[in-house]
């Protein structure tokens, strides 16, 4: 019969606190805050390689807002300005018609409950999902807020 030695809990706690101390000291050495450490861990879990993790980390670090639920923010394509002066209703009608041509939209941010896409993915949405989307103005441009369930294809 195999006899197991009892685990010295004090030793285990000492080792754990030593490792945490070294990680925190290393973060300070690199001038990385604990919040940035958490963001880096999230980025490395979501990314496929180090370069993608680094890009995602930078986006997460500079992104101050926090999207909630199963919502996804997509980069809204630029709508070309008409050389003619149009009413707001006409501009809206033209944009709604142009949405039919938007086939690959880039994911800008994801909500805290989103599992099927990640930041940087290209997605296709059906026209009804696009028509139901909300326009959100952020510091770096207009975004479309959509429900995760409306995303049909992910590249």
Whether pLDDT at 4 is above 80: no
Query: Is pLDDT larger for residue 114 or for residue 24?
Result: 114
For the segment 95-101, the average pLDDT, to the nearest whole number, is 74
pTM above 0.75, yes or no: no
Tokens standing for residue 99? 């949405």
Calculate the alpha carbon distances from 33 to 6, 24, 26, 53, 98 in Å: 37, 9, 10, 17, 44
For the segment 34-47, the average pLDDT, to the nearest whole number, is 77
Domains of the chain as residue ranges with CATH: 9-62 (no CATH), 71-154 (2.30.33)
CA distance 118 to 72: 9
Assign 97 a pLDDT band (cuts: 50, 70, 90): confident
Query: Is pLDDT larger for residue 97 or for residue 115?
Result: 115
The pLDDT tens digits of the residues spanning 63-85 come to 667 889 999 999 988 767 767 78
Tokens standing for residue 46? 């979501």
CA distance 3 to 6: 9
Assign 151 a pLDDT band (cuts: 50, 70, 90): very high
Predicted confidence at residue 55, as pLDDT, reads: 84
Could you give the 3-state DSSP secondary structure of residue 100? helix
Calculate the alpha carbon distances from 79 to 42, 53, 96, 98, 111 in Å: 33, 31, 11, 8, 26
């Amino acid at each position: 019969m195999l006899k197991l030695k009892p685990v010295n809990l004090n030793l285990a706690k000492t080792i754990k606190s030593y490792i945490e101390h070294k990680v925190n000291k290393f973060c300070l050495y690199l001038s990385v805050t604990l919040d940035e450490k958490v963001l880096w861990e999230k980025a490395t879990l979501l990314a496929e390689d180090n370069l993608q993790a680094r890009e995602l980390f930078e986006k997460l670090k500079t992104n101050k807002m926090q999207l909630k639920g199963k919502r996804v923010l997509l980069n809204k394509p630029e709508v070309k300005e008409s050389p003619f002066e149009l009413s707001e209703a006409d501009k809206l009608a033209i944009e709604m018609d142009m949405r039919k041509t938007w086939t690959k939209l880039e994911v800008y941010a994801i909500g805290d409950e989103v599992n099927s896409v990640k930041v940087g993915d290209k997605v296709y949405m059906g026209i009804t999902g696009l028509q139901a989307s909300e326009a959100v103005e952020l510091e770096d441009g207009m975004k479309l807020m959509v429900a995760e369930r409306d995303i049909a294809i992910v590249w």
